[in-house]
Structure 1
């Protein structure tokens, strides 16, 4: 019997060639172990590390993982009854903690510069019958990209990612610190903050910046700039535009890489939107996006008339993003903590509007006649978002605007005063907006939306059971 990948024809001709080249590299002796990584429903990398001899087999058969990984919330608790009939998923093959298979994508293979003689490859999830796992979020984005390609276009996106890095003082590894989740580490600041883009602040953390720059560029990521952000110990990295799946693949690898690199050198990096530290500034993930013509690479959003912000196609796409802003919020900002960022006059959006070159608007449009970089910057996202779901929400929304030739309306030059639909203020409100968005439910699949909302509702339920420090301070003495 043929091996799993060959039996079900899971690789393209290009991937078969790439796989043969990779096996030759494994035979050369330069690699000791290969990490087979799969991005789960939260965009967190999971998988197994195989020694070289076993890795050769994984490039034929894939790697087995337990289906309980599909049932985890952000505390790594299993929130579906996996050992009941149907396993809570109502899908064959997902009950009882059975296996699914992650299949390496040979085009993602690379050496990890911070881990000696260690290779890494990203995988896609399949069921045992060779069908794509219905909850594989990378496949959801691939479907959206295929719809764009069918129109002779490609998706183009550049990433602006804010995050915090602290000095790691105490990793909180005492026996009593364990849990689900465990105690967070004790940290201290690298910068006091509030000196945005100052050279002195940058120079004071140059060892960290040099470390990240060297390692991320060695990974082949399209890094353009490293910046001191406004908040204490807050930073921003900007990555150049790439096409189709690459922006999401970059973000998944980027987050994991930064956390690993920093931990190895005595730092703690977090992409949590709003850490609980004094004078904190929230972190966002600003997504710059456009479409280009596949035939010649021309930007399809460049306006042709003076005074226009975007081309007619770009305006329709923009209108789709605006119409589905509330429905896509739970995919762009998937944590309870992320909704603490949306507040007026905070450089974070609070309503579904667009404006020409205005950072207070959710959709900041940058376009002009002859400007090949004409694009839309969506400022709704937080850096914890699953990149495949966030980008898919953008593409499906934009495609709807294009199909219906929607009009985005006028630019909102006073973004915190313009009457407009308010963005969800809580994760629960965002989930309700997603479930009410018929277009997004149809594109993502109602089964996936129900699955995703079930996991997020489990997180909300756990949060509501906790007594917060605010409640203790407010009521414990007074009443």
Structure 2
């Protein structure tokens, strides 16, 4: 795999450096990509010379159905922005040149991530990046910014993606045969793949913190240093795509499903703190660095108040809700605690490192939507002067506590009927993602599962 010779101070890719690389023949392909509703990068691979001469200034077009389709890329009804009636016209990908990066696991390739606009230049508000940027502007208008880190778990299989498909995703061979949580031996057994992913992401200008094993068979986590919210979300989707591409090149496969089997699911614990634009600490008590300020308390109170209403942004699929099982380190109750992994919201750190961890999202979550929901909820907590209840000191699995949504149907009902959501994100955004959930539910309701066959074929 052709990794560029990039030292720690030489990984960033500026427009000037890109022009030089293209002129010298070191870069010949530019990926222009944006994130779709499902959290996937979609877009085009362009000739580098064409990118410089045309796309930098004008963007590049794509069909609007890319933000109005299901996971199988089927055209589905119910979306205002795109339909057969409207002719499935174009949207425009406008390049955010601050996102330029090398893609070292692909030969002579760089990537730029895009915002999505209509052909008249107006923002396509339903795009995930647009939704997050709208909430970040609300913070910036108050002199605030969000720092975020996502911890994304995945399961590695010895089977290629093609083999997994042919097997109907049954009888796959996990890369580890037993629980390798924090096991150095378990990580080293597949360090060839994990190392390639780690070095690839380093070459793509991400700062890798660690690699560790997890509980499920073949389950691992690669963690990255926190950054500003938008950059973290941008990095997250590049990493997710890149990890799959690197695994595929080794004839292996990776899944980020929230719940692949009956063992532990794959989470996307999301850490967030709010600081001033001058980097001042806003969430920390000025006297005790282990405690929350009044702002921090109200911000977390907002998370709890709106958790059920925003769950659809944290858990967008049928499978997402299979992860919420008692005793599995996934949350089932709406509660917060100090370093308490049984709660939905976990407070960790002190001083500049004080932050809260949202344990609700799974590996299938769209990071832009997760972070946007967290910011909107927190700001409402602050604006409404919400009071934070005492931290839950015991197992939240056993307490008499309000529960998180346990099905996509209940999450959809809470999401679409929420006045808070409509005020925070807009009717157009709420209706768009409510329709996404309806499409998912309809598809599932038409399906006959293995569970039904095993349960009913002979015995019913």
Query: Given the two structures, how large is their TM-score scaled by the length of structure 2?
Result: 0.92
Q: Residue 66 in 1 paired to residue 46 in 2?
A: no
Matches within 5 A, 1:129-208: 129-169=120-160, 171-172=162-163, 184=169, 187-208=172-193
Q: Is the 8 A contact 2:61 2:93 kept in 1?
A: yes
Using a 3 Å threshold, how does the CA distance of structure 1 residues 474 and 342 change in structure 2: closer, same or farther? same
Q: Is the 8 A contact 1:135 1:448 kept in 2?
A: yes
Aligned-partner Cα distance in 1 for 2:85–2:62: 12
Matches within 5 A, 1:219-368: 219-276=204-261, 280-295=263-278, 297-306=279-288, 309-368=291-350
Aligned-partner Cα distance in 1 for 2:164–2:311: 35
Residue 318 (structure 1) shift: 0.3
Aligned-partner Cα distance in 2 for 1:331–1:94: 28
Partner of 1:396: 376
In the alignment, structure 2 segments of 5+ residues that lack a partner are: 1-12
Q: Deviations over 1:126-152 (max 9, x none)?
A: 101111112211011111111111111
Matches within 5 A, 1:8-47: 19=15, 22-47=18-43
Using a 3 Å threshold, how does the CA distance of structure 1 residues 306 and 32 change in structure 2: closer, same or farther? closer
Aligned-partner Cα distance in 1 for 2:445–2:304: 31
> How well do the aligned residues superpose, as a CA RMSD in angstroms?
2.3
Aligned-partner Cα distance in 1 for 2:22–2:422: 43
Using a 3 Å threshold, how does the CA distance of structure 1 residues 170 and 390 change in structure 2: closer, same or farther? closer
Matches within 5 A, 1:94-105: 95-105=86-96
Residue 473 (structure 1) shift: 2.1
Aligned-partner Cα distance in 1 for 2:362–2:454: 29
Q: Is the 8 A contact 1:333 1:380 kept in 2?
A: yes
Task: Out of 256-265 and 88-97, give the one that drifted further.
Answer: 88-97
Q: How many positions carry a matched residue from both structures? A: 446
Aligned-partner Cα distance in 1 for 2:377–2:188: 41
Query: Given the two structures, how large is their TM-score scaled by the length of structure 1?
Result: 0.88
Residue 355 (structure 1) shift: 0.7
- Of 446, 452, 455, which aligns to 1:471? 452
Task: Out of 429-438 and 25-34, give the one that drifted further.
Answer: 25-34
Aligned-partner Cα distance in 2 for 1:94–1:150: 39
- Of 38, 44, 49, which aligns to 1:48? 44
Residue 293 (structure 1) shift: 1.7
Q: Deviations over 1:43-88 (max 9, x none)?
A: 111111111222121112211101121221112111127xxxxxx5
Q: Is the 8 A contact 2:153 2:220 kept in 1?
A: yes
Partner of 1:405: 385
Residue 254 (structure 1) shift: 1.0
Task: Out of 182-191 and 319-328, give the one that drifted further.
Answer: 182-191
Residue 40 (structure 1) shift: 1.0
Aligned-partner Cα distance in 1 for 2:305–2:130: 24
Partner of 1:3: none
Q: Is the 8 A contact 1:434 1:441 kept in 2?
A: no
Partner of 1:112: 103
Using a 3 Å threshold, how does the CA distance of structure 1 residues 169 and 404 change in structure 2: closer, same or farther? closer
Residue 222 (structure 1) shift: 1.9
Q: Is the 8 A contact 1:172 1:186 kept in 2?
A: no
Partner of 2:363: 383
Aligned-partner Cα distance in 2 for 1:54–1:246: 26
